[in-house]
Amino acid sequence: MITELHIKGFKCFDEETFRITPLTLLSGLNSSGKSSFLQAIKFFYGFKPQIAGLGPLSELVSTRHSGFKVKITTENISGEFSYPGQEPINFWNREQKLVSYISAARLGPEIYLPSCVTEDEGQGVGIKGEFVLDFLERNIELSGLPQILCHPDSKSKGVRVNVSHWLSLISPGISINWERIPRADLLIAEFNGRRPGNVGFGLSYTLPIIANVLVYAAKIQNKKEKSALILLENPEAHLHPAGQTKLGDFLARAAKSGVQIIVETHSDHLLNGIRLAVKNELLKSSETSFYYFEYDFNEEKTEVLKPILDEQGFFDEWPDGFFDETEKNLERLL
């Protein structure tokens, strides 16, 4: 599990050290540094295609520096990557096998989804959630979920049953079934007997998150792995406010189960779901960390604010712009 991230001279960052907890939440305006934070971590976990898409490393150096350095510390080891300088240690090989990055650009309702063909792809649902059905099929018999992630309506600790129950966060009473198409390397899913296109984007966007969390948590509970890491962008996309709040609660439960979650979000509802989970003692406040990014155009660097949550779900400070637009709009209306 990652415990600290140090960034110097990488993209919009001058020099910052971040405490990383079981649940770490990143917020801020667009182009303020949230994705850059995740990209810095991805250097160490084999996501080379995504980093390569950013261009040559020389373009990733802050305007205030001549090079950059990223250092990650886990419970067991630390690794550093600098440009110009040394290559990053691949933590995926040395430290942790259960690692996923789920992008904000996930697939919507698709009639067919592909099978994955490599071992590392088979460890997660895919960057766009494209392998979620194959991932579920590979783990169809997996059981032994920790109690905190067993849905209250489920009488089983099996992953498959609980996937459908947790999807009721989005659409009450929904259930999912899927089947593999032999020799086609494809799978097809149905929601309550209907094609995905007939039930909307919310289910398709949320299914990869729920599936990935439950499978990882069950593997940790069964002592097949010690911990897991999910980098998650905008999990609230296409969800109604109540669903976003419940998803925040779900992610808090995941963090308590050994699945480390680093989430980038624009949702105050998801934030409040986490705050309520802490108040309800599902997760300790010390197991959470929150960062709000602001870009200073004059200084050409990102400023990082670090509000601290207490055990009652309240912050010690509330930075201007930190999920406060609703209150500001109400003041304007009044």
Domains of the chain are: 2-333 (3.40.50.300)
User: Per-residue pLDDT tens for 204-239?
Assistant: 999 999 999 999 999 999 998 888 999 999 999 999
Task: Name the pTM for this structure.
Answer: 0.94
User: Per-residue pLDDT tens for 165-198?
Assistant: 999 887 888 889 999 998 889 999 999 999 988 8
The pLDDT of residue 26 is: 97
Instruction: Decide: 230 and 35 in contact? Cβ < 8 Å.
Output: no
Q: How far apart are alpha carbons 313 and 231 in whole angstroms?
A: 23
Q: Which helix (H) or strand (E) holds 138?
A: helix 132-138
Query: Measuring CA to CA, which residue among 99, 86, 48, 58 is closest to residue 227?
Result: 99
Query: Measuring CA to CA, which residue among 169, 167, 211 is closest to residue 191?
Result: 167
User: Per-residue pLDDT tens for 14-71?
Assistant: 999 999 999 999 999 888 999 999 999 988 887 654 466 788 888 899 999 999 999 9
